[in-house]
Amino acid sequence: MAALQTTTLNAMKTNQAQLLADWAHGLETSGATRNIKELDLKQQTSEFLQLIIAGLENGNSQNVAAPGWDEIRQFLEKLSHSRALLGQDSQQTASFIFALKGPLFALLQNHYQDDPALLAEQLWEASELLDALGMHTIRTFQKSREAVIKRQQEELLELSTPVVKLWDGVLALPMIGTLDSQRTQVVMESLLQRIVDTGSEIAIIDITGVPTVDTLVAQHLLKTVTAIRLMGADCIISGVRPQIAQTIVHLGLDLQGVVTKANLADALKLALTRLGITVSKAD
Amino acid sequence: MTVRSIGSQPIQIEQDVVLARQMARKLAQECGMRLIDLTKLVTAVSELARNTMVYGGGGDMDWQILDEDARTGLRLVFRDEGPGIPDIKLAMTDGWTSGSGLGLGLTGAKRLVEEFELDTEPGKGTRITITRWT
């Protein structure tokens, strides 16, 4: 297969300004410029065009994975990363490149008016090249998005495990959301660690924010309670709402060895009693 | 008995169990189920969806909202093409598990709903249908 001709390259070089103007116009009408500053876009389009010309001069147009295309690939990776952070979708990001097709094809058509066979060949080559670059952009865009999601998941993990000190010797762990993932592991570890660090005698696990208590959640809770006891501390589970209590009964779960309370206030009261502390109103 | 609406949801990974639960919660609210019935149904869905994923190697949850006389019901079908259950009597025993759970999921789910139907064949897969009426 023939590569892009030098004449094509020269035509692109001499008509850069026209290409850029048409490209920018195309981008605007396709809506791919939302949230992007005009100045940034101008810089990105002209940089991309220069890089593609440089790439064509260095290497062949058939393999964008070749070393001659390093710079443009890096540029696209940076671009799709910034688009992902701006909250653009993959279509908007990819159309940055695909919008160049129109102006470029118009240019080629104009240039090879007299030679239809060569025009077809050059169009095909240019199309292949832009498609390959577009695919690369989408791939890296996807990776950036996955990285964003992963970071958010990790942030959630951290958010969901606030072990709070309610009183000297009393820790509370308000659980929120789904308990049947790796979160439970993190929650359990941080609670056990805090018990050691603070020398607490009583830990209260509050499940008010847990919508569903099924057998797996119960199993996690029972394991945590056992581990806390092994460390010489006591555990109270609070936030057992009426519907949860009935569900536990129907499921046939045996929580008899575990102290449970309907709400956190009752659990704290019990903890204080066990520690021999009485709280009274000041006269 | 008329079917008001139907749909389906895949259960392949752990996140799908959460999605199945959320879907069941939404549908139960649509049926106008009381909080206690809703909680029971969602818990049963959680058990069965996890079984589908862990023991059935993944499958689907089909749902139907049914109207019959003055009552509304939610029917859910959990189906997989996994190894099936070789001994139904053993599987329906409290505390027995072939995995590492508490062995209460299947029997517990049965107690949490009004209609429970287990259809399984070794090597072919398992199909569990549950229904809860308002």
Distance from A180 to chain B by nearest Cα, in Å? 9
Say whether A160 sits in a helix, a strand or coil.
coil
Rounded to whole angstroms, the maximal C-alpha distance in chain A is 104
Nearest residue on chain A to B106, alpha-carbon basis: A251
Average pLDDT, chain B: 91
Report how far residue A67's alpha carbon sits from residue A51's, in angstroms, rounded to the nearest whole number: 13
Report how far residue A61's alpha carbon sits from residue B46's, in angstroms, rounded to the nearest whole number: 54
Question: What residue numbers bound the domain in which B121 lies?
Answer: 2-133
Please state the domain count of chain B.
1
Question: pLDDT-derived band of residue B8, with 50, 70 and 90 as boundaries?
Answer: very high
Measure the CA dihedral A80/A81/A85/A88, to 10°. 10
pLDDT at B108: 92
DSSP single-letter state for residue A248: H
Nearest residue on chain B to A245, alpha-carbon basis: B36
Q: What is the mean pLDDT of residues B14-38?
A: 91
Residue B48: pLDDT over 90: yes
Give chain B as a DSSP string. -EEEEEEEEEE-SHHHHHHHHHHHHHHHHHTT--HHHHHHHHHHHHHHHHHHHHTSSSEEEEEEEEEETTEEEEEEEEEE-SS--S-HHHHTSTT--SSSS-S-HHHHHHHHSSEEEEEEETTTEEEEEEEEE-
CB-based contact, A178 to chain B, within 8 Å:
yes
A240-275: b or e for each residue (b if 16 or more CB lie within 10 Å)? bbebbebbbebbebebeebbbbeebeebbebbbeee
Rounded to whole angstroms, the maximal C-alpha distance in chain B is 43
Read off the pTM: 0.67
User: What sign does the CA torsion over A17, A20, A22, A24 have?
Assistant: negative
Nearest residue on chain B to A212, alpha-carbon basis: B43
Task: Identify whether the C-beta of residue A77 lies closer than 8 Å to the C-beta of residue A141.
Answer: no
Best of B15, B16, B43 to substitute, by most chain A Cβ atoms within 10 angstroms, is B43
Of the partner residues B36, B46, B107, the one whose CB lies closest to the CB of residue A212: B46
pLDDT at A1: 41
Of the partner residues A178, A181, A251, the one whose CB lies closest to the CB of residue B112: A251
Task: Identify whether the C-beta of residue A235 lies closer than 8 Å to the C-beta of residue B65.
Answer: no
List chain A residues with CB under 8 Å of B16: none
Within 8 A by CB and 6+ apart from A245, the residues are: none
Within 8 A by CB and 6+ apart from B70, the residues are: none
Angle at Cα B52 formed by Cα B51 and Cα B55, nearest 5°?
65
For chain A, domains (ranges, CATH) are: 4-155 (1.10.490), 162-273 (3.30.750.24)
pLDDT at B28: 93
| A170 sits in which H/E element | strand A170-176
Count other Cβ atoms within 10 Å, centred on residue A30: 15
Q: What is the mean pLDDT of residues B61-90?
A: 91
pLDDT at A56: 80
Per-residue confidence in pLDDT tens, chain A, 283 aa:
456 777 888 888 888 888 888 888 888 887 666 677 778 888 888 888 888 888 887 766 667 777 778 888 888 888 888 887 777 788 888 888 888 888 888 888 888 888 888 888 888 888 888 888 888 888 888 888 888 888 887 777 666 668 899 999 999 998 887 776 667 777 888 899 999 999 999 999 999 988 888 888 888 888 889 999 999 999 999 999 999 999 999 998 888 889 999 999 999 999 999 999 988 898 8
Q: Report the CATH number at residue B64.
A: 3.30.565.10
Nearest residue on chain A to B42, alpha-carbon basis: A212
Distance from A234 to chain B by nearest Cα, in Å? 23
Say whether A235 sits in a helix, a strand or coil.
strand
